[in-house]
Amino acid sequence: MSGLRLLAGPDLRAGAEGYGDHVRRLGAPTLAGRPLIEALVQSRLTGRGGASFSAGVKWRSVASASKGTAVIVANGAEGEPQSHKDRLLMATRPHLILDGAFLAARTVRAASVVLYVGQEHKAAYAAMERALAERPDVERRIARMAAAPHRYVAGESSAAVHLIDAGIATPTTTPPHPRERGVAAAPTLMQNVETLAHVALIARYGDAWYRSAGRNGAVGTLLITLAGGVKKPGVVEIEAGTTIGEAVAMAGGMSEPAGAVLLGGYFGVWIPAAKAWELPLDAEALGAAGLGLGCGVVGLLPSSRCGVCDTAHIMRYLAEESSAQCGPCFFGLRALSDACSRVAERGTNRDDIARLKRWAVEVQGRGACKHPDGAVMFLRSALSTFSEEFATHPAHWRQQPA
Amino acid sequence: MNDTLLWYTTRGAGAVSMILLSAVVVLGVLSSLRFQSSGWPRFLTPALHRNLALMTLVFLALHIVTAVVDPFTHLGWLTAVVPFSSYYRTLWLGLGTIAFELLAAIVVTSLLRNLIGQAAWRLIHWLAYASWPVAVVHSFGTGTDALSVWFIALSIVCVVSVTIAVTYRLLQPPADPLAVARGEFRSGVSRRPNQ
């Protein structure tokens, strides 16, 4: 796999690009401070952790709240099981991420930088640690690593703050949002590592350059992970607005005909394959269609596999990943998962289908974090995409999810 | 108004208040235990707890107002507000004033729970365990009926019910059904920072 911008440069199989090579290849960033914030706003860069929030707006808000005390968190927890883009980026281009993080520190006048990296991403963690050691003293002195526990919710921003502060990666109630009151009660700028890497390039080449990539009205590039029924699963960098069909072609095409596409990972939505191919991979365009890019996972479900069974497996996973803090999430997801599993194992029964539909609505919005909301959004998309399969599911338990 | 009628009302309303307050304490304990059975759904406990507490206030108001306006005792309104300011049974009446004020604090903070936040509300609600015994001691010290058989029997029932409920609460593990799962999850995602 090669890339356009973030993944351009030396062969990715060579591992992390060192600081010397990185500086020789790209030079030093020229923008920082207020002009950088303006460039980010103009660039229309959005967060790549899943929420797709405008980076420029977030930086502006932390910059105005910061009194030299702000904290930068580079979020590389990547708890989404199907996503690989963050760990690939950290393992191969750590200095792009660090450039972005330290530019953020200068721009919002931050006192410290935390590199929050999933502990199970061993190569990425080591690469980030090594890269940090290569940075100049002034940067190294304010930065530190923090290992994100291997749980789905650990990457959620309030959970990251909770881990860095108190050593427990469970979400806390928001508001206050971390950007108002985060690590050590200071305004905290948390960005996904891919977002920070884009910042590093925008700070060198400007917002017009960033917008020069992109198709069908979308701007910039993005990293996506192709999973499931494709010939070459993995991470590719695409121009925003590239359709799902084109992205699949970049991954060598389908390994077998697909019945449905899971867009955005386990917090994403199922889309019937026929409807999916023409969808542009761009947060704005997908948002307008009532969908979301999420963390950029495109998972293909081969038509030989059973959508109901895969949905049941994923619901089981999401239920077990509840941090057991809010009753509706802990009990609700468990009940939903049990009902899904009953349909998968013993076949369709009308009571469980009715329960799934009712509970999926009742759980919505009743957690301190968005974990239950993400899970039921996923489930509701399954109920509509696989409505026929759910209505006529035989008694079997076919396979583990891809 | 007939003085005797006032005096009977004071005593009667006081006794009723004690019964109600004891019931409120028992229900409060039961709701913290998340008690339920087939004939008693869980929502019943807090609803009854709240409504009986408000009813207690009504009888308490009757108890206090009739006592104050009774020309025989000459208590004055200050007695109802400032503890130990009464010339008459200074200590015992003062305890009544304290019990009432603690209760008033609990009720007011409960009505303003959304404003003051869960933690502050909870902290102040613990005062219930101070208000109730003080009220009981007040009834024995001041009560004209303290030595009559019916009142002693009533008091025993109240004290025994509250004692049983509180003892049960002390012996029970926390009723939070998420406690175990949350503990397990947290131990899986916990570490010291800076590692």
Give the β-pairing of A234-239 and A221-228.
antiparallel
A147, A165, A324: residue with CB nearest B178? A324
Alpha carbons B94 and B134: distance in angstroms, whole number: 10
Show the tokens assigned to A274. 């026929």
Return the residue of A nearest to B190 by Cα. Answer: A168
The arithmetic mean of pLDDT across residues A253-264, rounded, is 95
pLDDT of amino acid A43:
97
pLDDT tens per residue across span A205-216: 999 999 999 999
Asked if B187 has any chain A CB less than 8 Å from its own CB, the reply is no
Buried b (16+ CB within 10 A) or exposed e, A114-151: bbbbbebbeebbbbbeebbebbeeebeeebbebbbbeb
The arithmetic mean of pLDDT across residues A158-185, rounded, is 90
Distance from CA of B170 to the nearest CA of A (A): 24
Looking at residue A211, its amino acid is R
**pLDDT at position A1 over 70:** no
Tell which residue, A77, A74, A7, has the closest CA to residue A223: A7
Looking at residue B143, its amino acid is G
Report chain B residues whose CB lies below 8 A from the CB of A154. Answer: 189
- Contact between A46 and A261 (Cβ < 8 Å): no
Alpha carbons A374 and A268: distance in angstroms, whole number: 7
A144, A168, A170: residue with CB nearest B194? A144
The arithmetic mean of pLDDT across residues A184-188, rounded, is 94
The arithmetic mean of pLDDT across residues B63-73, rounded, is 86
pLDDT band for A59, please (50, 70, 90 cuts): very high
**pLDDT at position A402 over 50:** no
Show the tokens assigned to B131. 């208000």
Interchain pair B193, A147: CB under 8 A: no
pLDDT tens per residue across span B36-50: 888 899 889 999 999
Interchain pair B189, A327: CB under 8 A: no
pLDDT of amino acid A275:
95
Asked if B119 has any chain A CB less than 8 Å from its own CB, the reply is no
- Contact between A164 and A183 (Cβ < 8 Å): yes
Which residue bears the tokens 């008693």?
B40
Tell which residue, A44, A3, A30, A55, has the closest CA to residue A207: A44
**pLDDT at position A2 over 70:** no
A144, A164, A170: residue with CB nearest B189? A170
3-state secondary structure at position A74: strand
pLDDT band for B119, please (50, 70, 90 cuts): confident
Report chain B residues whose CB lies below 8 A from the CB of A330. Answer: 178, 181
Distance from CA of A115 to the nearest CA of B (A): 10
pLDDT band for B1, please (50, 70, 90 cuts): low
3-state secondary structure at position A274: helix
Alpha carbons A71 and B153: distance in angstroms, whole number: 66
**pLDDT at position A51 over 80:** yes
Interchain pair A163, B193: CB under 8 A: yes
pLDDT band for A395, please (50, 70, 90 cuts): confident
The arithmetic mean of pLDDT across residues A7-19, rounded, is 95
Interchain pair A167, B191: CB under 8 A: yes
Helix, strand, coil in percent for chain A, rounding step 5: 50, 15, 35
Distance from CA of B183 to the nearest CA of A (A): 8
Looking at residue A295, its amino acid is C
Chains A, B: CB contacts within 8 A come to 49
Which residue bears the tokens 């479900």?
A301
**pLDDT at position B85 over 90:** no
The arithmetic mean of pLDDT across residues A28-53, rounded, is 95
Asked if A73 has any chain B CB less than 8 Å from its own CB, the reply is no
Chain A interface disruption, residue of B178, B180, B187, most A CBs within 10 A: B178
Show the tokens assigned to A233. 């699963």
pLDDT tens per residue across span A284-334: 999 999 899 999 999 999 998 999 999 999 999 999 999 999 999 999 999
pLDDT tens per residue across span A90-129: 999 999 999 999 999 999 999 999 999 999 999 999 999 9
Alpha carbons A331 and B177: distance in angstroms, whole number: 10
The whole-chain average pLDDT of chain B stands at 88
3-state secondary structure at position A6: coil
Cis check: omega of the bond before B173, within 30 degrees of 0: no
The arithmetic mean of pLDDT across residues B91-105, rounded, is 92
Interchain pair B195, A149: CB under 8 A: no
pLDDT band for B86, please (50, 70, 90 cuts): confident
Phi, psi of A193 (to 5 degrees): -60, -35
A147, A159, A166: residue with CB nearest B195? A147
Orientation angle between helical segments B44-69 and B90-111, nearest 10 degrees: 140
**pLDDT at position A390 over 70:** yes
A167, A170, A325: residue with CB nearest B193? A167
Show the tokens assigned to A277. 């191919």
Alpha carbons A394 and B42: distance in angstroms, whole number: 39
Return the residue of A nearest to B181 by Cα. Answer: A324
Q: Which of residues 320-349 of A touch B (CB under 8 A)?
A: 322-325, 327, 330
3-state secondary structure at position A264: coil
Tell which residue, B33, B24, B15, B34, has the closest CA to residue B128: B24
**pLDDT at position B95 over 80:** yes
Residue B58, number of CB atoms within 10 A of its CB:
13
The overall pTM is greater than 0.80: no
Q: What percent of chain A has pLDDT over 90?
A: 92
Q: Exposure of A32 by Cβ count < 10 A (0-12 exposed, 13-18 middle, 19+ buried)?
A: middle
Q: For the sheet with A143-148, list strands across it.
A: A143-148, A110-118, A70-76, A188-192
Which residue bears the tokens 């977002």?
A195
H-type helices in A206-306, by residue range? 207-212, 244-250, 273-276, 283-288
Report chain B residues whose CB lies below 8 A from the CB of A159. Answer: 189
**pLDDT at position B194 over 60:** no
The arithmetic mean of pLDDT across residues B151-179, rounded, is 90
Q: Is the dihedral of CA B3, B7, B8, B13 positive or negative?
A: positive
Show the tokens assigned to A70. 């702000």
Q: What percent of chain A has pLDDT over 70?
A: 98
Asked if B195 has any chain A CB less than 8 Å from its own CB, the reply is yes
Q: For the sheet with A258-263, list strands across it.
A: A234-239, A221-228, A297-302, A258-263, A269-272
pLDDT tens per residue across span A331-353: 999 999 999 999 999 999 999 99
Q: Strands, DSSP E only, in A62-104?
A: 70-76
3-state secondary structure at position A245: helix
- Contact between A218 and A209 (Cβ < 8 Å): no
**pLDDT at position A397 over 70:** no
Asked if B184 has any chain A CB less than 8 Å from its own CB, the reply is yes
Domains of chain A, CATH where assigned: 12-211 (3.40.50.11540), 221-302 (3.10.20.600), 307-391 (1.20.1440.230)
Cis check: omega of the bond before A302, within 30 degrees of 0: no
The whole-chain average pLDDT of chain A stands at 94
**pLDDT at position B30 over 50:** yes
The arithmetic mean of pLDDT across residues A251-277, rounded, is 94
Q: What percent of chain B has pLDDT over 70?
A: 96
Query: What is the DSSP code string of chain B?
Result: --HHHHHHHHHHHHHHHHHHHHHHHHHHHHHHTT--BTTB-TTHHHHHHHHHHHHHHHHHHHHHHHHHH-TTT---HHHHHSTT--SSSHHHHHHHHHHHHHHHHHHHHHHTHHHH-HHHHHHHHTTHHHHHHHHHHHHHHH-TTTTSHHHHHHHHHHHHHHHHHHHHHHHSPP--TTHHHHHHHHHHSB--S--
Phi, psi of A132 (to 5 degrees): -60, -40
**pLDDT at position B193 over 80:** no
pLDDT band for B145, please (50, 70, 90 cuts): confident
**pLDDT at position B33 over 90:** no
